[in-house]
A and B are shown apart, each in its own frame.
Chain A
Amino acid sequence: MEDERGKVRALIEMATNSTEREVDPRLLKAIKSVVRYSDPELRLAAQALMDLMKRDHSQVRYLTLLIIDELFMRSKLFRTLVIENLDQLLSLSVGFRRNLPLPAPPAIATILRSKAIEFLEKWNASFGVHYRQIRLGFDYLKNTLRFQFPNLQANAARIQQERREREIKTKEILRNKFEILGQNLSTIKEEIQSTIDEIGECLDIIRAKEENMALAPLDDDDFEEFRSSELRQIRLDSLKEGEKVHENNDNTVVFDALRELYKLLMTKHMGSVQESISVLIRVEVPDNRLRDSMLKELIDIRNRLVSVKKKCEESGCALATNVKEEEEEEEEDFWEEGKIGPTEKGSSSTPSKPKQKLQNLAVASTSGEIKNEQSDNNELRKTDSNSPRSKLLSEAPVVEWGSFLGNWGLDRDFMANQRGLELDNHWGRVDYDAVIPAEKIAELNLQATFYKEEPVEIQPCRAPLRKGGLCQRRDLKVCPFHGPIIPRDDEGNPINQKNPSSDENPIQKNSLIDDETPLDLGSDLSEHLSEQLAKQAIQNVRGREHEEGKKRKIDKQSLNRAKLAKVMEHNEAVLRNAALASTSRSEAVGEDIEVTNGKKSSTRNKKKTLASMLQNKVTTKDRLAQRLLNTRARGATTRQLTMGEEDTYRENFPNQW
């Protein structure tokens, strides 16, 4: 029993003897498990904790307080034990008694105080009803001593309340929407149905014409009337792919109507249906059956819309390309067209202002268009290599592939919030008209280009080795074994030895000796000798001239240097005088800094202990204060003031004193 009794005390001692900000969780767990099953242990623990709270060290008190809080929140017996001495506990942890301030170190003392106040608030919130003492302490600190409580509870409650209000508001809005929807559903349905019907009719007409047109390719003459040979080929290809409806003078009206209807369908109806579905999903109404049936209907409508859309796209693709090809034909400039394409793409894929909608009639899905462009490109490459395109290609910069290529050369604003994501209500209200300006896009798409070193093939040394074979070392200029790398023949002999005499570096010699080919190149040498001598002479003359020039330069420099040295000497003398006048203090300060630095490093090296926390560190502030308060400093400032008179002189000769 005795060792058992000591156990919890030892555990608590251990847990509080630390410099950490937290109690070691394992120790804490151990304490809890010991205390949980034995009341005498708990009493002992309470006793030990109260003793520790009296320790003259804020860190110990802080950790003790943490343990107390842990046990306080859990054990009723512990609560009753602690409550009896609550005023003592509070005075030790909050330090509200003037004659009992919190002990050093002050940094932890402030943490201790704030923590204690926080705990008291927590305790008051959870157990205040049962313990008058807690209420009293809380009330005393709050109302009499006016301590600032963190007010966690109230804040949390307020936030909760705000959130609830917001939810209620959104629910209200949803319900309103739902009611409106319920009223409008039939009209919406009718409208959609009518558009779908119209689209169907249009498609029927086109199909009928298409069947007529299917005969047309057979009639070549007729075909050639309005299409060039290349495009005829394209046409044939596309016709082979089949199913593509094309527009001509006869069915333009129908196509226009179709496009308009399609637009209407996509922008207005699709949107409204999506929106109402989302409303139905989110709304909470007492009558679920009505909602479900409405939801079902809407989903049906949406599916129908999607299928119609698909149909339209199937016909619309061909239609769009036709338009483009005609334009190409007329303008004879392919790349101009490239710029138009994307704008059309953008306007068709994003529902922008209604005016634009009417102007840009090209109705096509983006994917289809891209495909078409690509196919066009391929065809162009195939057909004529001399086209302006190939010319431009030859001088076009090569850029790494990236998503920005999609918007290459694009000069339009970008809709920020229309990327096919339902952004609504995730982050509050969404401004669908938000626009990223074109300059910003360009800025964002600015590509960093990295310099890439061109791979250089480093030549092997190829000097003959003693053991046979050639040296395979690849060095840039000089092989560490065989000297400079020079072109050699297959056996390793240098092909071109220009001026061995002037060049004569020892490594070269060594290599020659190593090679053990004692001047069997003599004949070569004699042949080149005269040439080399001449070269040498020229070099010598040039070198001398060069040297003379150098000398002159050096002379000039030395003159300058002498002048400078004079000035510097003067400066140094002045500095020395100044130092002599004011040195002792500044020296002392310097030493001081060194000393404190040394102390700091030593404490850093030492393992942190509770005792070390109590040591006062000499802070910069202290030092500054000390220095400022010094009379010597005052004297220095007066001296500085008198020296102000010399300023004019100094300005004239800025590098002299």
Chain B
Amino acid sequence: MWKQIGGREAGQIRPNSFSNRVKSNRVSSLQLSNYKDIVSPHRGAVNSLQVDLTEGRYLLSGASDASVAVYDVQRATDYEGGGLIAKHKSIVVVDKQHEQGHKYAVSSAIWYPIDTGLFITGSYDHYVKVWDTNSTQVVMNFKMPGKVYRTAMSSLATSHMLIAAGTEDVQVRLCDIASGAFAHTLSGHRDGIMTVEWSTSSEWVLVTGGCDGAIRFWDIRRAGCFRVLDQSQSQLGRRPPLLERSALNKVSMSKSSSVGQNLSAKLRPQQRKSTNGNGIKQSPIGRIPAKASARQRLHPGMLSGQDRATAHYGAVTGLKITDDGMYLLSAGSDSRIRLWDVQSGCNTLVNFETARLQTSKAIQIATSQDPALVFVPCMTAVKAFDVWSGKTRMAFRGHYEYVNCCWFSSQDQELYTGGSDRKILVWSPSRLISDESDGESMKDQDNWSD
């Protein structure tokens, strides 16, 4: 530690790498925090957690008892145990008593990405609501055709204010906060949509995972989805360096043509429409020649609706795009986690050592950037896997029932987890030795009487 600081002082270590080193050090020592308690007001399973993206200070949680709460994770409301334990009580609570509150379980609660003045909740009572944080009043109301499983807003968006909502219904709806209406209805899934996720590299790209096991990529400027992930399409390991890629592309090209699938999207950037059109023309011929005439009338973008490729056996329960927007992690009810290369749309065949995943509910996955870790709720524990190797790095056991969601705050290097046991736990790096030794040594010692 001191050596690194010395190196930084001397200019041997670049600021970026220095901070990364410190961060990764801290992340590797994550453990259940004894000095930070979040006092959950929820009386049901915590379904969703998010720390705001602007300040990294306010934690938003949504729970099955139709309540939503906001906590300040930086400043504690009161202390306990001689100042040893900081209690973070909720500063805003919206529950059933609230006249505009949700009736049924809140499945998803997210911050408005630009500031903390708004937050959006989706609930099993078919509504997506936009709340003013300061007045805790509903600003906007979207009625959905079914239970809302997940909502998402793009963190990069500068030109739109769309809430993507995954519901029981087969269509993904984009709710426009600016107009208060549905801007898009994206159809293609054959079953309810469990999870939605905006790309972190392009503000137009949306990824959705459905109960039919498909993961679809949508470009909201165009009709239809432009890519369906197929678990059988795979590449080994990380994306090969640029030089080797051309060679590899040829191989996959020939493969794809033989299979007769729409693989063009993964071969070339999606902006290049001409090649895309080629692929579309190719694929149907091999597959369903009898219905060729009917297909001719379909819009080229809608053709992907015919694609029944699956990313998971069973439902896709969780999606997370890494911070650089290059990889997609997906969790399914087949207890698998897959790492997809967004660029190529291939399954990278990383074997994550999950034992079991919760199958009935959508789960929320978190990633950390620098030691590339993915935090996945595995039944009652949260496991941290190495993204590239799939090895279990850490296991966080603390919840007494299933864990539903987790959020990694990269600013504080803290992990927040929420479970069906109504608790929100904070996992933080162990404190520096200097501040640890004062309180604990007083009481927590060996006490041998004989």
Contact = CB atoms under 8 A, between A and B. Distances in A.
Interface of A: 29, 32-33, 36, 73-77, 79, 84-85, 87, 90, 127-133, 135-137, 139-140, 144
Nearest to A96: B400
State the 3 A-B residue pairs at the shortest beta-carbon distance, nearest first.
Answer: A129-B81, A130-B444, A132-B34
B423 interface: yes
B421 A133 contact: no
Given A87-B397, A130-B440, A133-B398, A74 B423 contact: no
A74 B449 CA distance: 8
B448 A132 contact: no
Nearest to B423: A136
Contacts of A133: 32, 398
Given A136-B398, A136-B425, A32 B85 contact: no
A136 B400 contact: yes
A76 B441 CA distance: 11
Contact of B32 (A29, A75, A127, A132): A132
B37 interface: yes
Contact of A74 (B34, B425, B443, B446): B446
A379 to B, nearest CB: 74
A73 B397 contact: no
B34 A131 contact: yes
Nearest to B84: A129
B55 interface: no
A131 B423 CA distance: 16
15 contacts: A74-B447, A74-B449, A79-B444, A85-B397, A87-B380, A129-B443, A132-B32, A132-B33, A132-B398, A132-B425, A135-B37, A136-B400, A136-B425, A137-B400, A140-B400
B422 interface: yes
Q: B400, B422, B440 — which one has the most chain A CB atoms within 10 A of its CB? A: B400
A79 to B, nearest CB: 8
Given A133-B32, A136-B423, A136-B425, A36 B85 contact: no
A75 B450 contact: no
A144 B421 contact: yes
Given A36-B448, A130-B443, A133-B398, A140 B32 contact: no
Counting chain A CB atoms within 10 Å of each CB, the highest count among B425, B444, B450 belongs to B444
B428 to A, nearest CB: 11
Contacts of B293: none
Given A87-B400, A129-B81, A132-B34, A32 B450 contact: yes
B135 interface: no
A594 B449 CA distance: 53
A536 to B, nearest CB: 95
Contacts of A128: 81
Nearest to A137: B400
A169 B169 CA distance: 72
Please report whether the interface of chain B is mostly helix, strand, loop or mixed according to DSSP.
Answer: loop
Contact of B397 (A77, A84, A130, A135): A84
B28 to A, nearest CB: 17
A145 to B, nearest CB: 9
Interface in B238-266: none
Nearest to B426: A132
A127 B447 CA distance: 12
Contact of B444 (A76, A139, A140): A76
Interface residues of B, number: 26
B423 A140 contact: yes
Contact of A76 (B445, B449, B450): B445
Nearest to B449: A74
Contacts of B449: 74
B34 to A, nearest CB: 5
Interface string B120-152: 000000000000000000000000000000000
A129 B446 contact: no
A33 to B, nearest CB: 8
Contacts of A32: 448, 450
A629 B172 CA distance: 60
B60 to A, nearest CB: 22
A144 B84 CA distance: 25
A517 to B, nearest CB: 89
Contacts of B398: 87, 132-133, 136
Contact of B37 (A29, A76, A132, A140): A132
Given A74-B447, A87-B380, A130-B440, 19 more contacts: A32-B448, A36-B448, A74-B446, A74-B448, A75-B448, A90-B400, A129-B82, A129-B84, A129-B443, A132-B32, A132-B33, A132-B425, A136-B398, A136-B400, A136-B425, A140-B421, A140-B423, A144-B400, A144-B421
B447 A73 contact: yes
**Which of the listed residues A74, A84, A127, A129 has the most CB atoms from chain B within 10 Å of its own CB?**
A129
Contacts of A75: 446-448
B392 to A, nearest CB: 15
B438 to A, nearest CB: 13
Contacts of B422: 144
B431 to A, nearest CB: 13
B85 A76 contact: no
A133 B32 CA distance: 8
Contacts of A132: 32-34, 37, 398, 425
A139 B38 CA distance: 13
Contacts of B34: 130-132
A127 B423 contact: no
A87 B379 CA distance: 13
Nearest to B85: A129
